[in-house]
């Protein structure tokens, strides 16, 4: 494959977000919009990634530093002007440049690969990603000639009434041949309704030169959704949620209510596992087959849940391994904990993993039974086949096969209440 340089436009203002930082550093599912775009650029094998920053650039630089090259667009004079800032990274290069937007994070890797592939196999100098919209208002319209070849993109504000009826719109995502793009952007002028340098003008410039241009129509329009306000931010979160949940369901996971099941990126879940509502599963968690999770479970980063395990209601887990067949059925916090196989963790049991300065580990051996409302003060090791009495506060290691009771003996003072109540009445 040829050299690929990806340019990410992220200089825009985001006025409607009403934010003190760049809109592209707002998060969906815990990850900044622009970080998702950079992830994507890396996954398609970009040799270089250039981010065009401007408005609130410090916030963008902070989240992307070390991963991309930055160029600054000091004045927002349009998408063509934005790309001009990246010219130093394109000059003298052969191959393709892919244009992405910092606020359009849900494009599928597969779609971009198809776009690049189309530009290569069909020898196109510009390949656009387009979509068919029922209501195309506001978008650039795709003009094709009688043979269906793309000849031009006309912005809404510059379009004739006839052109406004066109329902094929420009997503703003493209793959260009680098040398020809560099020639074409020199010819862009701001002679249009908005007085901007339109990147879209390069299509007309190229096609008038006789250079082949084409378009790939995206199958799933949600891929090209962008974020301009917090309502769209929520919409994209919802789209991503459904996309991730659908993938798990296709793989044999039962999700009782997809609307309130929040599975973050790169989670693995085995077959026949059932996820009850109001469950959150953070990035990278691994869950085995035939497990039961939730309702109201919060499984944070670094957790591994093995086959046939149960993590029930109001249970929070962090950096915890739940061994095969083990159960944490209700009201527990297990952090930095390694739970063996066939362990039962009683209701209300918690690990006290943090001493105010550092986190410490708890280990619980196979076949152990931890009674209700036990505090496991880490670092602590509970052996195999142990029984810990309910209400215990375990500060010392427990050997295999032991019963551990760490609470005060109960004292019953007979007749105390009658006497005490009488004294009070006097």
Q: At what angle do helices 178-185 and 201-208 cross, to 10 degrees?
A: 110
Strand bridging mode 27-28 / 31-32: antiparallel
Contact residue for ligand UD1 among 190, 226, 277, 379 (CB under 6 A): 226
Report what 198 binds from ligand UD1, Ca ion, none; CB cut-off 5-8 Å by kind. Answer: ligand UD1
**What are the residues whose beta carbons fall under 8 Å from the beta carbon of 244, sequence distance 6 or more?**
263, 264, 265, 267
Contact residue for ligand UD1 among 102, 288, 312, 335 (CB under 6 A): 102
Residues within window 359-398 making contact with ligand UD1, judged by CB under 6 A: none
- The contact mask relative to ligand UD1 for 61-90 (x = CB under 6 A, - = no) is ------------x--xxxx-xx--------
User: What DSSP letter does each residue of 354-403 carry, written as one string?
Assistant: B-SS-B--EEE-TT-EE-TT-EEESSEEE-TT-EE-TT-EE-S-B-TT-E
Does residue 373 belong to the site contacting Ca ion (CB under 5 A)? yes
Q: Minimum CB separation from ligand UD1 for residue 71, in Å? A: 10
Burial class of residue 183, CB neighbours in 10 A (0-12, 13-18, 19+)? middle
* 8 A C-beta contact, residue 355 and residue 330: no
Q: Minimum CB separation from ligand UD1 for residue 170, in Å? A: 4
Query: Interface with Ca ion by CB under 5 A: which range of 155-163, 236-244, 342-350, 355-363?
Result: 342-350
* CA angle (278 as vertex; 274, 279 as ends), nearest 5: 55
Q: 6 - beta bridge partners?
A: 49, 98
Q: 28 - beta bridge partners?
A: 31
- The contact mask relative to ligand UD1 for 171-210 (x = CB under 6 A, - = no) is xx-------------------------xxx----------
Does residue 391 belong to the site contacting Ca ion (CB under 5 A)? no
- Active-site option among 26, 81, 276, 330: 330
Does residue 329 belong to the site contacting Ca ion (CB under 5 A)? no
Applying CB under 6 A, the site for ligand UD1 has a residue count of: 26
Distance between CA atoms of residues 369 and 342, nearest Å = 9
276: annotated active-site residue = no
What residue ranges bind ligand UD1 (CB under 6 A)?
A: 9, 11-12, 52, 73, 76-79, 81-82, 101-103, 139-140, 153, 155, 169-172, 198-200, 226
The residues carrying an active-site annotation are 330
């Amino acid at each position: 494959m040829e050299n690929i340089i990806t340019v990410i436009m992220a200089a825009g203002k985001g006025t409607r977000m009403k934010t003190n930082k760049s809109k592209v550093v707002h998060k969906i599912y815990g990850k900044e919009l622009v970080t998702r775009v950079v992830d994507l650029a890396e996954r398609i094998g970009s040799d270089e990634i250039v981010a065009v920053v401007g408005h609130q650039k410090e916030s963008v630089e902070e989240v992307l530093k070390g991963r991309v090259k930055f160029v600054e667009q000091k004045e927002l004079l349009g998408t063509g002007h934005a790309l001009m800032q990246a010219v130093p990274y394109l000059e003298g290069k052969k191959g393709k440049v892919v244009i992405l937007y910092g606020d359009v994070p849900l494009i599928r890797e597969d779609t971009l690969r198809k776009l690049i592939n189309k530009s290569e196999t069909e020898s196109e100098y510009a390949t656009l990603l387009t979509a068919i919209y029922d209501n195309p208002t506001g978008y650039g319209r795709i003009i094709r000639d009688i043979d269906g070849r793309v000849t031009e993109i006309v912005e809404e504000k510059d379009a004739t009434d006839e052109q406004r009826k066109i329902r094929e719109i420009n997503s703003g995502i493209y793959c260009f041949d680098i040398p020809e793009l560099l020639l074409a952007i020199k010819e862009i002028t701001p002679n249009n309704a908005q007085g901007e340098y339109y990147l879209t003008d390069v299509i007309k410039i190229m096609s008038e030169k006789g250079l082949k241009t084409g378009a790939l129509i995206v199958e799933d329009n949600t891929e090209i959704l962008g974020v301009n306000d917090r309502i769209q931010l929520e919409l994209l979160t919802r789209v991503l949620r459904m996309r991730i949940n659908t993938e798990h369901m296709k793989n044999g996971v039962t999700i009782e209510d997809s609307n309130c099941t929040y599975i973050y990126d790169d989670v693995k879940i085995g077959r026949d596992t059932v996820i009850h509502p109001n469950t959150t599963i953070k990035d990278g968690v691994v869950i085995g087959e035939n497990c039961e999770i939730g309702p109201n479970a919060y499984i944070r980063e670094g957790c591994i849940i093995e086959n046939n395990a149960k993590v029930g209601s109001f249970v929070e887990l962090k950096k915890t391994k739940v061994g095969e067949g083990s159960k944490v059925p209700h009201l527990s916090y297990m952090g930095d904990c390694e739970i063996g196989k066939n362990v039962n963790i009683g209701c209300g049991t918690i690990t006290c993993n943090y001493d105010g300065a550092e986190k410490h580990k708890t280990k619980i051996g196979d076949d152990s039974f931890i009674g209700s409302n036990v505090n496991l003060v880490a670092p602590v090791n509970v052996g195999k086949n142990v029984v810990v009495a309910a209400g215990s506060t375990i500060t010392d290691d427990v050997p295999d096969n032991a019963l551990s009771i760490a609470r005060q003996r109960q004292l019953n003072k007979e007749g105390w209440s009658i006497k005490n109540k009488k004294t009070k009445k006097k």
